[in-house]
Amino acid sequence: MVTGRRVRQGATLSVVFGVVLLAGAAAGAWGEPPTAAPRPAGIGPGTGLGDLAGADLTPLQAEQLVGASGDRWAAHLSPEEYADFTGGRYPGVGLSVDRAADGSTAVSDVLPGSPAAAAGIAVGDRLLRVDGAAADQLPVTDVVARLRGRQAGSTVAVAVQRADGPGRDLVLTRAELATREVAVRHPAPGVTEVAVRAFTSGVSGQVREAVRGARAVVLDLRGNSGGLVEEAVATASLFLDGGPVASYQARGEDRELTAAPGGDTVTPLVVLVDGGTMSAAELLAGALQDRCRAVLVGGRTFGKGTVQQPSRLADGSVLELTVGRYATPSGRSPDGTGVVPDVPAQPADDPAALALRVLAGLGTRQGAPG
């Protein structure tokens, strides 16, 4: 049985939109006071989030507050967990998974040198069970939570199957892994494909360097779990000349996220999305779609359109609760519905190949150099 704690852990580690916004909060960008005096313990779930900054809560009290909030995305991270997460490191086995068209849970990526790679698990294998639970009957977020766990050195039992072969039962020992946020390849002459798996610090700069001089771009956000919203906005700024990226409301105040001026508005752009495209990645995809800057190809995105505001407690841990929902420039909220691609990929389609076909059409219409 999946406990509430494990669900929240999975949400924090793989679908987070707000926990890594603390960098912005510390600078005042998110309305967080730069300093806050410690407050007595015993703060109840109805307390405003701003009142929690510097609160002297025990870990148990923080966990109770998260549990009593009724907030699906609420989380409490110890100082060590937060440092590992924002530093791009996490305990896990090195598996990325996705839900296939037939409902099965497929391995979409294997981190080289990881426990999963050492066990011989390969992209395309079907994940049958995780710690005795049928993977196909769990939300992908729960599958990810069970795979990652809480600390390196712990174990997780999995069952995998390759093609129509027999299933294999394995026990994997989690290791401390480093995330791979950006990967670049050139699938066709003049085409630069940039896969972004999460928006951690510095990712927008990596994307900027990757697309410099490109004649056409495929931005692959499949499986992107979100992250730093300022990095997502900075990435949007690469392809927009100012203007809105998203809006949201926090503590009753309407706020707007805007792109920096001077971005490339000419180079043909296709964005690949799927059910693993979440949070800040959905914000970026929705902005580029609404602004008519890119054609979205693939599958409907995850549908997490909420904003979490983090508060640093007296002991250095981080508590976050949902404070509102964001909307795309046209006023759409993807929360619960996701972002629908302009060109849906059919079960028989190779989304990456479909993106190239769409890109070829864009290049022709926009007069890209031959």
Using one digit for the tens of pLDDT, what is the confidence trace for 138-149?
887 678 878 987
Bridge partners for 195 per DSSP: 183, 220
Looking at residue 21, its pLDDT comes to 32
Q: 200 and 20 in contact (C-beta within 8 Å)? A: yes
Q: How far apart are CA 203 and CA 88, in angstroms?
A: 11
Looking at residue 300, its pLDDT comes to 94
The CATH superfamily holding the domain 92-178 is PDZ domain (2.30.42.10)
Please list, in sequence order, all residues whose beta carbon lies within 8 angstroms of the beta carbon of residue 125, skipping any fewer than 6 positions away: 106, 107, 160, 161, 162
HSE (CB half, 13 Å, CA atoms) of 38?
9
CB atoms within 10 A of CB 273: 31
Output the DSSP codes for 259-278. Answer: PPS----SS-EEEEE-TT--
Q: Which residue has the higher pLDDT, 40 or 188?
A: 188
| Of 213, 226, 216, nearest in space to 193 by CA | 216
Q: How far apart are CA 321 and CA 308, in angstroms?
A: 5
State the angle between helix axes of 59-69 and 4-14 in degrees (0 to 180), rounded to the nearest 10: 90
Q: How high is the mean pLDDT of the chain?
A: 81
CATH number of 182-305+323-365: 3.90.226.10
Identify the weakest region by mean pLDDT among 22-36, 146-160, 349-363: 22-36
Q: How far apart are CA 218 and CA 195, in angstroms?
A: 8
Q: Which residue has the higher pLDDT, 51 or 183?
A: 183
Please list, in sequence order, all residues whose beta carbon lies within 8 angstroms of the beta carbon of residue 322, skipping any fewer than 6 positions away: 18, 71, 72, 73, 74, 306, 307, 308
Looking at residue 93, its pLDDT comes to 94
Q: Which residue has the higher pLDDT, 136 or 309?
A: 136
Looking at residue 102, its pLDDT comes to 86
CA-based Rg of the chain, rounded to a whole angstrom?
21
Tell me how far the alpha carbon of residue 80 is from its chain's centroid: 21
pLDDT at 11 over 60: no
Looking at residue 225, its pLDDT comes to 82
Break the chain into its structural domains and give their ranges: 4-89, 92-178, 182-305+323-365
Tokens found for residue 83: 């440092």
Looking at residue 213, its pLDDT comes to 93
Q: 66 and 74 in contact (C-beta within 8 Å)? A: yes
Q: How far apart are CA 280 and CA 340, in angstroms?
A: 15
Give the predicted TM-score (pTM) of the model.
Answer: 0.67
Identify the weakest region by mean pLDDT among 144-158, 286-300, 339-353: 144-158
